[in-house]
Amino acid sequence: MPTVNFSVPEDIKNAFNITFEGQNKSAVIADLMREAVERAQSQQRSQEAYQRILARRQNAPRITEEQFRAAREEGRP
């Protein structure tokens, strides 16, 4: 398994060591890194979806407010 080295502020290092005392710190770090990767990938997918929605809106048919209200009323029971 590869080894990675990171520089972190001393207070974070101390808090980490206290919080995860007695645990496999390498496993904890690996889990945290996995979560960070998943979160970043999810944010990227959300951003891409947002960009696709914006692009589709450029080609969406334009309607007036009056047309919108009429369609809304037609859809009501």
Could you give the CA distance from residue 17 to residue 10 in angstroms, rounded to a whole number? 11
pLDDT value at position 47?
Answer: 98
Residue written as tokens 């710190």?
25
pLDDT value at position 32?
Answer: 97
pLDDT value at position 76?
Answer: 81
pLDDT in tens, the chain (77 residues): 889 999 999 999 999 999 999 999 999 999 999 999 999 999 999 999 999 999 999 998 888 999 989 988 887 87
48 touches 56 (CB < 8 A): no
pLDDT value at position 64?
Answer: 92
Could you give the CA distance from residue 53 to residue 76 in angstroms, rounded to a whole number? 26
